Amino acid sequence: MKRNIFTSAFTLALGLFLAGSYSQVKAQTYTTFDADPHATLPLHFDSTGRIIGLTFSVNQTYGGFVRNTDGSVVEINYPGALSTDWVGFAGSDEIAGAYTDSNYAQHGFLGPVSGPYSRFDVHSATQTIPMAANSAGQVIGFWMDSSSKLHGFLRDADGTVTTLVAPGAAATNPLDINGSGQIAGYMSDASGVVHGFLRSPSGTYTLFSLPAGTVTVQVHINDAGQIAGSYASSTYTYSSFLRDTNGTVTLFTVGGAPTTVNDINQGGFIVGGYGGKKNALKRGFLRRPDGTIVSIEYPGATFINSTTTATCINQTGTIAGKYQINTTTETETHGFILTGLH
């Protein structure tokens, strides 16, 4: 499932730590890895512990990768593509993704990890942009018509495509899908007001409110139907939320800093990142189901211009993410795996 990825100055972070606003756990074991020497971005775990993600090469093109549990890495690049822009697990040995062709049009693709891959497009679309997939082989995303208008879509494993339109929506934005086929996303109505939504496998939409002034949203859904995500104001300052299965929406940040959610596992553990927008220390976090939050900082990534972001968490509590020791002197972004924090 999902694509998707974002601090406060050092003094603020230190002050929060001393004040006990979040807990710093020291019994953490990190494993670093690089799928590409320039940039490695883990995106998702599968049930076996494999990690799928993206690389960003020196010529500024994306590629995909799968990191196996033995540490070996399989590169994923659609043949002849300018860029393989997103990949996600779509079954026991299937992946789904998007690629950009030589005419800069985007298409979807499906296939086994080792290939070959098959292209797919929504009928009459000028662009097909997958966003997420589930273990049943369903894919959700966007397609663009000849008037450059975006629409949501659901592609079932048999190839059937359904256009997604939330009630009263001027625009419907599906962003994630869980194992049972529940879809989470956001819509904007004719007045431009943004709402979150949950779509059932039968096609019923449930809308939920977000704070006034929300302009964009990113969401993730687990198999229990909990939705965790982030919403941005007009200044693109992000805060986060959890929508529980009973419809209760809880808003949260880490110490009042801009906070983004990147994943939620089946137990309701949430991971993401927090911190200032520029020239500031950025850290990852784990939010437990009881609401307590633990800061995640890759060893050595302690400079004002360091970045640590937790991007995904599996059912056993293993976390993966990316880090950069010092953004002012290094351009490389590395992947990491963290255990012992769940």
Confidence of residue 57 (pLDDT cuts 50, 70, 90): confident
The reply to whether omega before 258 is within 30° of 0 (cis) is no
- Average pLDDT on 166-183 reads 96
**Dihedral angle over CA of 105, 110, 112, 117, nearest 10:** -50
Contact predicate 183/140, CB 8 Å: yes
pLDDT over threshold 70, residue 26: no
What are the pLDDT digits (tens) for 318-341?
999 999 998 777 778 999 999 998
**Residue 178 and residue 132: Cα distance in Å, rounded?**
9
Spell out the domains of the chain, with CATH numbers in brackets: 10-339 (2.130.10.10)
What are the pLDDT digits (tens) for 77-98?
999 999 998 889 998 889 999 9
pLDDT over threshold 60, residue 38: yes
- Average pLDDT on 156-162 reads 96
The reply to whether omega before 116 is within 30° of 0 (cis) is yes
**Residue 159 and residue 19: Cα distance in Å, rounded?**
54
DSSP 8-state assignment for residue 1 = -
Residues in the chain: 342
**Residue 162 and residue 177: Cα distance in Å, rounded?**
14
- pTM of the complete model beyond 0.85: yes
What are the pLDDT digits (tens) for 279-305?
688 999 999 999 999 999 999 999 888
Copy the structure tokens of residue 172.
Answer: 């419907």
Residue 27 has a pLDDT of 67
Contact predicate 309/322, CB 8 Å: yes
What are the pLDDT digits (tens) for 95-137?
999 999 999 999 999 999 999 999 999 999 999 999 999 999 9
Confidence of residue 140 (pLDDT cuts 50, 70, 90): very high
DSSP 8-state assignment for residue 68 = -
Angle in degrees, CA 9, 13, 18, rounded to 5: 145
Residue 87 has a pLDDT of 87
**Residue 318 and residue 320: Cα distance in Å, rounded?**
7
**Residue 268 and residue 288: Cα distance in Å, rounded?**
7
pLDDT over threshold 80, residue 20: no
**Residue 87 and residue 94: Cα distance in Å, rounded?**
10
Average pLDDT over the chain, rounded to an integer: 90
Residue 86 has a pLDDT of 86
pLDDT over threshold 80, residue 25: no
**Residue 233 and residue 212: Cα distance in Å, rounded?**
9
Residue 202 backbone dihedrals phi, psi, to 5 degrees: -85, -5
